[in-house]
Chain A
Amino acid sequence: MAEAVTIDRVRKVYASGLEAIRDVSFGVGEGEFVSVLGPSGCGKSTLLMMVAGLLAPSGGEIRVDGTPVRGPRREIGVVFQSPVLLPWRTVLDNVLLPIEMLRLGRSQYLERARQLLAMVKLDDFAGTLPRELSGGMRQRASICRALIHDPEILLMDEPFSALDALTRDQMGQELLRIWEHHRKTVIFVTHSIREAVFLSDRVFVMGHRPATIVQALAVTLPRPRRLDIEETDDFNRYVGVLRKAIDSEGGVAPLPNLLPGLRRQSRRSETAE
């Protein structure tokens, strides 16, 4: 499998002197779904923004298809934590924004935009303004926007973290359906262990600042995956391994020993915080 994205000894120190990322290296294969998991503020979003070419690494190099990233690139689509739809554009026009930015023919992509919207069940809302959509619908529209120019690589920065738990599960399943259909290379940043296991081929756990990769885990659960896979022992074994990796990093404030029962419960809770 050819490497679509190579992260090679990347380091990030902010102008303030804060060392966000000390040394991170990993490769992502073509068509692979990779998650970067870590507690809030560990620098995982920073890492993703560097892959997107929106931030420059302080050291090391990021390569996409073998060439170093110097700035935003056409073959990358990004889904941000908030949908950032433009309020004056209809859903359809928001989806077509990258086409306009890249100066591609709008008319040639109109049909594709409609197909993408149909895929996320937003076809009836093509002419609607974002303010009339729910949070989940907005994020689905922003996923369509990230896919409109048919990028090879999809970068997702905690895209479902602002959604309620039910919508979030649903979006995860929908994302897998899209991914099985369009087979992009995906780097998905999250602080939800279950989300990472459910979606990914491989999960990289980032530790606290200054961050390094503290664990890499291949998830070999069969695909296509459905939500009920989360009930299986296999699934929960992966969750356990990742939980341990995060805990050993001090991702969760240790609870007093007087409450061993609570401690066990917190291990099963969904997020790493």
Chain B
Amino acid sequence: MNDRVRGVGLPIAVAVLTLLAWEGLVRTLGVKAVVLPAPSVIVRVLLTRSDLMLEHLWPTFYQIVLGFLISVGGGILVAVLITYSRIVRNGFYPLIVVSQIVPKVAVAPLFVIWFGMGTPSRLLLAFLVAFFPMTINAAHGFQSVDEDTLRMARAYMGGRWQIFSKIRVPHALPHIFSGMKISITLAVIGVIVAEFVASQQGIGYLIVFANGTLDTPLMMAAITALSLMGLALYAIIAGLERVVVYWQAPSEPGAEGMA
């Protein structure tokens, strides 16, 4: 019980104290809102201009979710190919790894030329940044079944498909969820960057717009809304993980390394 309180209560306490210090410093030093708005100002903007927020949050939201889902599907598919096809594993996989050196956000303007200002180029960028960690995690999951387990399955006459569906897939699930938790945060980055580059709507657009008009409180409010959305998406995946990967002992936040 005490550990639980410390696991959840302590970070919250630190966060609250930080916000209070921020508020206090901005007020006592008289920092202008253009430079750094106080948390209370940001909250007020969030509440008074919630219509504007939601209007721009929605396209960003569904593009993140869509980009994420495409990354998960594509990542798992490529992971299966890597696991089962020697040509993909030896021919394509090294190239995919090397291609990660290219800073993907730098390619964003190119996508606008190729695919226009619309949703496709944003989804593509989200996919490009979010797909790789999904692929390596899933591939590792499919391939890291230990030799003893595979031998056991073969001894009981398990065929290729049975070994895949009854052993590799469940074994990979914890790894797939690790990949998804990384991918969802990257999908957020991908969509926002694409909106920075070329867009008439979305939170990324709103941030650039607020920046252009030196409306720092609006910009910070947009960033806050975006962060809350990212957090919610992450929490959904983490919650799903607990249900799907039921056989893994739940790890309390911060429990690692404390034993």
Contacts and interface: CB of A to CB of B under 8 A. Distances in A.
B151 interface: yes
B1 interface: no
Interface SS of B by simple majority: helix
B158 interface: yes
A52 interface: yes
A131 B170 contact: no
B154 A74 contact: no
B247 A54 contact: no
Contacts of B166: 86, 97, 100-101
Interface residues of A, number: 24
A74 B173 CA distance: 30
A86 B149 contact: yes
Contacts of A74: 157
B155 interface: yes
Interface in A169-203: none
Interface string A92-103: 000001101110
Interface residues of B, number: 20
Interface SS of A by simple majority: loop
Interface in B112-166: 148-149, 151-159, 162, 166
A76 interface: yes
Interface in A214-249: none
A72 B163 CA distance: 14
B156 A86 contact: no
B81 interface: no
Interface string A71-110: 0111010101010101110000000011011100000000
B170 A102 contact: no
A84 to B, nearest CB: 4
B157 A72 contact: yes
B151 A102 contact: no
